[in-house]
C-alpha cells in the first residue's frame, strides 16, 4: 500500500476561524495543516489551532510599518514548513505583489459572495442591501486584483425575504465550510488546472 503524499498547507486567519475548524474537521487526506498564521492576537482561531496541536504563528499586522514588511516577516516564519498551499480562511488583509509572487498560483481565498458580485468587506450586508435573490460564496485563486482571481468553486445561497445579516451569514458560512475543504482537496490532489482566467476541475 503506497502512502498518500501530503501537501503542507498554511491557513491564514484573522477572526473566529470557523472555516479553519471546517478544514480541520474534514480531515483531507492529501493535506497536512502545517501551520496557522494569525494577524490578530486573541482571535478565537488561535485556540482552535492550539486545541488540535497545529503550530500557530501570530504576527500582529499592527506591528509593521508596511504590508510588505508584515508579509516578509510571515514568510520568514513559515519558510521552515515547506508550504505548498496558502489558504486565506477569513484573513482580512490585502496581500502585496511580493507575497503573491512568492506563492504564485498557490494561494486560495474564501469569499462570502458570488464573485464578481460584492467584493471587499461586508459582502453579505452588501447582498442584502442590494436585494439580490441569490448570493453565496466563492473559492478563488488569489492574484494582484482583490477578490478577482480565477474561480475554483462557487455555491449559491437563496436569500429569503425575512433574512437578516446574521441569518444569511449563517447560511453562507455553512456552504463555505463545505466548498473550502473541497477546494483544498482538489488542489492537493492535483485536480485544478489554470487556463488563463479559468480553472479546470478534473474528477
Ligand atoms: C468568512 O465568511 C470568509 O468568507 C470571510 O471572512 C469570514 C471568516 O469567518 N472572508 C472575507 O470576507 C474575505 N474578503 P471565519 O473566521 O469564521 O472562518
Q: Is residue 1 part of a domain?
A: no
What mean pLDDT is predicted for residues 103-119? 98
User: How many domains does one find in the chain?
Assistant: 1
Ligand 1 centroid to Cα of residue 66, in Å, is: 23
Q: How far apart are CA 166 and CA 171, in angstroms?
A: 9
Atom of ligand 1 nearest to the CA of 21: 18
Residue nearest to atom 10 of ligand 1 (CA): 90
User: What are the backbone dihedrals phi and psi of residue 183, each rounded to the nearest 5 degrees, phi first?
Assistant: -65, -40
* Atom 16 of ligand 1: nearest residue by CA position: 17
Whether pLDDT at 35 is above 90: yes
pLDDT tops 90 at residue 203: no
When pLDDT is averaged across residues 125-131 and rounded to a whole number, the result is 98
Would 163 be classed as within a structural domain? Answer: yes
The percentage of residues in the chain with a pLDDT greater than 70, rounded to a whole number, is: 99
Closest atom of ligand 1 to CA, residue 17: 16
pTM: 0.97
- Detail the DSSP E strand segments found in the chain: 7-13, 31-38, 56-58, 85-88, 107-111, 134-141, 151-158, 192-195, 198-201
2 part of a folded domain: no
Range of the domain at 98: 7-201
Please confirm, yes or no, whether 140 is among the known catalytic residues.
no
Q: Whose CA is nearest to atom 6 of ligand 1?
A: 90
Cell readout for 14 is 484573522
Q: Is residue 164 part of a domain?
A: yes
Q: What cell numbers appear for 20 in the block? A: 479553519
16 domain residue, yes or no: yes
**Is 27 a member of any domain?**
yes
Would you say 79 and 59 are in contact if contact means Cβ atoms under 8 Å apart?
no
Backbone φ and ψ for 124, nearest 5 degrees, come out as: -70, -40
Kindly give the distance from the C-alpha atom of residue 161 to the centroid of ligand 1, in angstroms, as a whole number. 23
Among 23, 111, 146, 152, the mutation site with the greatest number of ligand 1 atoms within 8 A of its Cβ is 111
**Do 141 and 196 contact (CB within 8 A), yes or no?**
no
Rounded to an integer, the average pLDDT of 61-89 is 97
**In this predicted structure, what is the pLDDT of residue 104?**
96
Contact 150/139 with Cβ under 8 angstroms?
no
| Ligand 1 atom at minimal distance to the Cα of residue 111 | 4
- Residue 21 in any domain: the answer is yes
Q: Would 51 be classed as within a structural domain?
A: yes
User: For the domain that residue 42 is a member of, what is the CATH number?
Assistant: 3.40.50.170
Amino acid at each position: 500500500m503506497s502512502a498518500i503524499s501530503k501537501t503542507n498547507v498554511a491557513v491564514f486567519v484573522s477572526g473566529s476561524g470557523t472555516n479553519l475548524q471546517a478544514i480541520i474537521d474534514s480531515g483531507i487526506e492529501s493535506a497536512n495543516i502545517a501551520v496557522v498564521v494569525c494577524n490578530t492576537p486573541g482571535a478565537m482561531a488561535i485556540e482552535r489551532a492550539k486545541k488540535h496541536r497545529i503550530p500557530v504563528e501570530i504576527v500582529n499586522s499592527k506591528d509593521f510599518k508596511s504590508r510588505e514588511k508584515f508579509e516578509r516577516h510571515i514568510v520568514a516564519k513559515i519558510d521552515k514548513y515547506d508550504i505548498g498551499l496558502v489558504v486565506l480562511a477569513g484573513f482580512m488583509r490585502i496581500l502585496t505583489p511580493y507575497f503573491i509572487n512568492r506563492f504564485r498560483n498557490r494561494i486560495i481565498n474564501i469569499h462570502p459572495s458570488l464573485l464578481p458580485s460584492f467584493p471587499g468587506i461586508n459582502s453579505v450586508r452588501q447582498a442584502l442591501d442590494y436585494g439580490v435573490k441569490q448570493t453565496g460564496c466563492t473559492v478563488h485563486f488569489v492574484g494582484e486584483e482583490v477578490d478577482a482571481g480565477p474561480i475554483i468553486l462557487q455555491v449559491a445561497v437563496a436569500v429569503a425575504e425575512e433574512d437578516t445579516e446574521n441569518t444569511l451569514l449563517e447560511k453562507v458560512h455553512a456552504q463555505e465550510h463545505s466548498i473550502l475543504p473541497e477546494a483544498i482537496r482538489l488542489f492537493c490532489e492535483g485536480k485544478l488546472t489554470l487556463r488563463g482566467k479559468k480553472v479546470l476541475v478534473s474528477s
